[in-house]
Structure 1
């Protein structure tokens, strides 16, 4: 998903669509379209995109920025929604993906060459490992480093 697709998705997700989003942002329809479609040298400000994201109740803008940056966006639950059992479950998922990567690596390199399909498969598993690792670390830090978060926010 690119940025423009995220903008259009947020407008679609917002109750009332274009007209309601324009009203909520204080733009005319032409003004918002000019910014989304980058007409007349205009573009949408990050702050406006974040406001659209909040109004639409989606994470589409964050997902598009993550994709454009070569990453993925992961929504994290609140610290009160996760406990040690949930962290253990995430560790188990991570171990499962590492095992899968090991198995697929062995299969892919068995013939001495990794083809296009095998490369895509290994990359997808690697992306899942990365996503699970970052989610696990972020949740761990949110739960067990509360004092540090308060210092950063101040």
Structure 2
């Protein structure tokens, strides 16, 4: 098992993005973790022998209010991360906003698809960018489904999505 399995580049990228978006960057991240900036840099080196603890990454993600790490893990797992909406802010307006976002994202995806395939070749950079645009479309569809179920579903779907609630798994997580 090589270094790529210890700490894949996609995870390092997501962690670095999470850190750099903190108002205080690496200094703030080090403070949150009770570590030094140098220890953070050492754990994020591609040629290093140290790894960045996943618990640290999740703590920084919560501290910064981002989803970069969750998105990266979901994407690598061939899935999408869907952030549940805040129940108090949810309504028909939220649903309409999500549909507008979806249509815009789908338009960007279609436009990029047409541009990228017009020469008959899809290079690695075009593939990477198309996957990112496609991921956004998938995430928005999943968000719309969650919001729709919360607004119009039978029973109390809000119980299943409420943060911190231990819901009945058989009722809230049926396949």
The normalised TM-score by structure 1 is 0.62
Task: Give yes or no for contact 2:19–2:60 (8 Å, CA) kept in 1.
Answer: yes
Give 5+ residue unaligned stretches, structure 1.
Answer: 101-107, 109-114
Listed one character per residue, the Cα deviations across residues 60-100 of structure 1 (whole Å, up to 9, x for unaligned) are: 21222223223444444312222235436656887x69xx8
C-alpha displacement of 1:26: 0.7
Name the stretch that deviates more: 71-80 or 13-22. Answer: 71-80
Instruction: Compute the TM-score of the two structures, normalised by the length of structure 2.
Output: 0.56
Q: Which residue of 2 aligns with 1:152?
A: 167
The aligned residue for residue 104 of structure 1 is none
Aligned partner of 1:61 among 48, 56, 69:
69
Q: Give the Cα–Cα distance (whole angstroms) in 2 for the partners of residues 29 and 51 of structure 1.
A: 16
Q: After TM superposition, list the pairs within 5 Å mapping 1:1-154 onto structure 2.
A: 2-37=10-45, 41-84=49-92, 86-87=94-95, 116=121, 130-143=138-151, 144=153, 145-149=157-161, 150-152=165-167
Q: CA deviation at 1:34?
A: 2.4
Q: What's the CA shift for 1:46? A: 1.7
What stretches of structure 2 of length at least 5 have no aligned partner?
1-8, 108-113, 115-119, 170-175
Q: In structure 2, what is the Cα distance between the partners aligned to 1:153 and 1:62? A: 24
- Aligned-pair distance for 1:148? 4.1
Tell me by how many angstroms 1:27 deviates.
Answer: 1.0
Cα RMSD after superposing both structures: 4.1
Shift of 1:10: 2.0
Deviations 1:88-125 (A, max 9, x none): 6656887x69xx8xxxxxxx9xxxxxx556xx7x9889
Aligned residue number for residue 6 of structure 2: none
Aligned partners of 2:16 and 2:144: how far apart in 1? 32
Q: 1:2, 1:67 within 8 Å by CA — same for their partners in 2?
A: no
